[in-house]
Structure 1
Amino acid sequence: MTVFWITAGALLVASAIAMMIALRRGVPDADTAGAADLRVYRDQLAEIERDAARGTIPADEAARLRVEVSRRILEADKNARFSGAGLTQRGTVVAALLILGALAGAVSLYLTIGAPRYPDMPLVARIAEADVARANRQSQAEAEAAIPAPPPATDVDPQFLELMEKLRAATKDRPDDLRGQQLLARNEAQLGNLRAAWAAQEAVIRLKGDQATAADWEFLAQLKIFAAGGYVSPEAEVALTEALRRDPRAEGARYFSGLMLIQTGRPDLAFPLWRDVLESAAPDSPWVDPIRTDIAALAEVAGVRYEPPAAPMVAGAPGPDAASMAAAADMTDAERAEMVAGMVGQLDARLTAEGGSPEEWARLVSSYAVMGKLEEARGALDRARTALKDQPEAVKIVEAAATDAGITP
């Protein structure tokens, strides 16, 4: 801060001195001897040009005369004197007051819209501050405690709620039942009971042990993030780290890792993560649209010039955009369920009409299972088998997702 004010003060003084010198110099006096000589020499030069044009003097003589007269013009200009009148004493005082007023106005403007008391923030200090903020941010429990608990669902099928009560009781009696915990995690999430959902998903990961997949850890991270209202807690970060350790290309884990870096003041690290997902993911990836919506602003904050690639035309793309995700946070459980059902219906219609990748079929089967629509899930599994009958490995991917969702292949 001291260096800044010393530099600013020196610049102000230098500016004032420069302006006063300029005002004190005055203007050239048109009646000085030097000014009269200049007029004579210019007239002589013009006469030489006229004589040369008429041919009354040879060309070489004209050239010699031009050089001589030009030399005299330069000498006369050098010896020209200023009048020395400059400003009167009163004028000097007025000029000084005007200059001081302008400089005072500049200082006042900076004090009004600038940040005179803000300390220097070199890059190293800002990075250190971001690291401290990241290390000391809210825990999952603290973040959830700050969010009102969602009201209980009132428009859910009573039979489904009855089945859920039985499922909760069964998993309570048999906490090591992997299939039961998987069903509990997905169905609690469908009901909007996100805290219960991530607790069940933690049980799934505990029971799987080293066999827990990147998808298992990514699902846990998402449940915790949504339960915290979009905030990436240290506990959610651990789940993201585990997902990326198993699959460094996991798109959802990279998206939410970028979100965490934004929240902790490191947009410079978040930008390459999001850019890589945007430029490498399939057009219908659910993470492409939210990244495309916000990456221009992220690039600007990160100090990067970036032009996102043009959005391809993808019919029926199932991924939510950032606006949809934000709107979903304010929806009732019924509205949220309706939105999800609409997205799943669009995915089903597209896969039925056009076919798709095994990952998309697996997503459809899992989505129906999470919604409690087990018959639709089995139907989607059968259609996937038919559509992918020439790709045995692809069929295995869909069947594995069905198994994880509690559907017997």
Structure 2
Amino acid sequence: MTFWIIAIAIASLSALPLALALRKAHGISEVEGSTAEVEMKVYRDQLKEVDRDEARGVLSAEDAKRARLEVSRRLLEADKARATEKKASTRMPIWAVIALPVLVIGGGIWLYDYTGAPGYEDLPLAHRIALADEARATRPAQAEIEKERPSSPPIQQPDERLLTLVSQLREALKSRPDDLQGHVLLARNEAVIGNYDRAYAAQKEVIRIKGNAATATDYADLADLMILAAGGYVSPEAEDALTKALQRDPNNGTAIYYSGLMFAQTGRPDMTFRLWQPLLSNSEADAPWVAPIRGQIEMVAQAAGIRYTLPPLPGAGGLRGPSQADIEATADMTPEERQDMIRGMVEGLSARLANEGGSPEEWARLISSLAMLGDTDRASSIWDEAQVIFGAEPEALAVVRGGAERAGLVE
């Protein structure tokens, strides 16, 4: 009720100035006197003044007559002007002025009733958290959700040979229930052909056989297979597996990612962000959870009311030099072989910058490397190209210029 009282009061305060403005603009209020009426009053006073001047002898009878004629003419013109003003004036009836705020208020109430959510309760933070906890506690179980939604697509389309081998492995394990390696192979291959429910059943056998030796990865794999079987849904059973994985290894990336997904599905994007942001920052670019996190974390942050800008991929824009293995491999090379290897690396850098672009440091390194190899014409051409690319960025251009200076292209 408080909401409606405040809303109607605000609407009334908004409509009142508008009504008063329209009332004044359309001549609704009684004006004390128009311009023509003021002029008529002045001219009547002038006629009386002429009579007084004639009586005192200030004006002759002839001058008084002429003055009366002139003032009377002006009085008639003012009277005509007043009549014209009355005709031109369009008076809005008072009921229209009263109807205006009623229309604004009533229209606003109808619009809110039609498009809004009347009676929707306030959702303070504590209440929202309580609702999320309730949603998490009452969400469907694994078996229930598997009946309602399809599982994730298979990793690859199975061929007859693989299907036959998996079928044979199933039969073999019936007589060897404690064959650890057999269940590991079965879980893996059932997942490959898209039988995720059978895959996580086999993974449960792996964990049963290992007992206390089961690792965080074993439990994270179990949760992964259960989530795939449920089409991406994190069930209470999958959450239990994730909890056991994190108890064994708090830094298990798979378990952290899926735990964050579970919180996102149950209305706690703040918890999702709290889990995903450190995981993303500390992960290599090729980690399997990096791509899905990068695709969702900005929306999660927005839902949690957090300002967040997605950072570049780890390693993106950085200098890519030879690995330690590359360096060790040059020890036994002849000078010609070493030169060929360096040239190959320079060519690879050149191709990447041409196709993907790169940092100013990489452009500078390419220019100086080409000059070192004696290809100064090509180095000069790339320096010209870099000036166009980084011309609007003085700091970046200064870095590239350093490479050109080392190549002897500029002084």
| Structure-2-length-normalised TM-score | 0.56
- Aligned-residue offset at 1:184: 1.4
Q: Cα deviations across residues 209-238 of structure 1 (Å, max 9, x unaligned)?
A: 121111101000000000011111000000
What corresponds to 1:9 in structure 2?
A: 8
Pairs aligned (count): 263
Distance 1:135 1:282 in 2: 34
Q: Which amino acid aligns with 1:263?
A: Q
Is residue 155 of structure 2 the alignment partner of residue 156 of structure 1?
no
Q: Which runs of 5+ in 1 are unaligned?
A: 32-86, 316-350, 356-409
Q: Cα deviations across residues 172-203 of structure 1 (Å, max 9, x unaligned)?
A: 11211212211111121112211111011111
Aligned counterpart in structure 1 of residue 223 of structure 2, from 221, 245, 248:
221
Within 5 Å, give how 1:387-398 maps onto structure 2: none
Cα separation, partners in 2 of 1:226 and 1:314, compared to 1, 3 Å = farther
Q: Cα deviations across residues 307-326 of structure 1 (Å, max 9, x unaligned)?
A: 010224669xxxxxxxxxxx
Distance 1:256 1:154 in 2: 25
- Aligned-residue offset at 1:145: 1.8
Distance 1:281 1:169 in 2: 40
What corresponds to 2:96 in structure 1?
A: 94
What corresponds to 1:277 in structure 2?
A: 279
- Aligned-residue offset at 1:122: 2.2
**Larger Rg: 1 or 2?**
2
What corresponds to 2:399 in structure 1?
A: none
Aligned counterpart in structure 2 of residue 175 of structure 1, from 158, 174, 177:
177
Q: Among all aligned residue pairs of Structure 1 and Structure 2, give the percentage whose two residues are the same amino acid.
A: 48
Within 5 Å, give how 1:96-115 maps onto structure 2: 96-115=98-117
What corresponds to 1:328 in structure 2?
A: none
Instruction: Look up the SS of the partner of 1:244 in the other structure.
Output: helix
Aligned alpha-carbon RMSD (Å)? 3.5
Is residue 123 of structure 2 the alignment partner of residue 121 of structure 1?
yes
Cα separation, partners in 2 of 1:101 and 1:194, compared to 1, 3 Å = same
Q: Cα deviations across residues 228-255 of structure 1 (Å, max 9, x unaligned)?
A: 1111100000011111111111111111
Q: Is the 8 Å Cα contact of residues 284 and 314 (structure 1) preserved in structure 2?
A: no
Q: Which amino acid aligns with 1:5?
A: W
Instruction: Look up the SS of the partner of 2:10 in the other structure.
Output: helix
Distance 1:190 1:165 in 2: 13
Q: Cα deviations across residues 99-121 of structure 1 (Å, max 9, x unaligned)?
A: 33233333232223221232222
- Once superposed, which parts of structure 1, at least 4 consecutive aligned residues long, lie more than 6 Å away? 21-31, 149-154
Q: Which amino acid aligns with 1:308?
A: L
Q: Is the 8 Å Cα contact of residues 186 and 202 (structure 2) preserved in structure 1?
A: yes
Q: Which amino acid aligns with 1:10?
A: A
Cα separation, partners in 2 of 1:250 and 1:88, compared to 1, 3 Å = same
Distance 1:171 1:213 in 2: 22
Within 5 Å, give how 1:320-359 maps onto structure 2: none
Is residue 201 of structure 2 the alignment partner of residue 202 of structure 1?
no
Aligned counterpart in structure 1 of residue 249 of structure 2, from 218, 241, 247:
247
Distance 2:278 2:143 in 1: 32
- Aligned-residue offset at 1:261: 0.9
Distance 1:198 1:230 in 2: 14
What corresponds to 1:288 in structure 2?
A: 290
- Aligned-residue offset at 1:164: 2.6
Q: Is the 8 Å Cα contact of residues 227 and 234 (structure 2) preserved in structure 1?
A: yes
- Aligned-residue offset at 1:303: 1.1
Q: Which runs of 5+ in 2 are unaligned?
A: 35-88, 318-322, 328-411
| Structure-1-length-normalised TM-score | 0.57
Cα separation, partners in 2 of 1:270 and 1:6, compared to 1, 3 Å = same
- Aligned-residue offset at 1:17: 4.8
Within 5 Å, give how 1:39-58 maps onto structure 2: none
- Aligned-residue offset at 1:129: 1.5
Q: Is the 8 Å Cα contact of residues 184 and 197 (structure 1) preserved in structure 2?
A: yes
Instruction: Look up the SS of the partner of 2:306 in the other structure.
Output: coil
- Aligned-residue offset at 1:23: 7.1
What corresponds to 1:402 in structure 2?
A: none
Distance 1:12 1:314 in 2: 54
Instruction: Look up the SS of the partner of 2:311 in the other structure.
Output: coil
Distance 1:167 1:156 in 2: 16
For CA contacts below 8 A with separation 6 or more, give which structure has more relative contact order: 1
What corresponds to 2:141 in structure 1?
A: 139
Cα separation, partners in 2 of 1:242 and 1:149, compared to 1, 3 Å = closer
Distance 1:215 1:150 in 2: 21
Distance 2:288 2:150 in 1: 27
- Aligned-residue offset at 1:91: 5.4
Instruction: Look up the SS of the partner of 1:220 in the other structure.
Output: helix
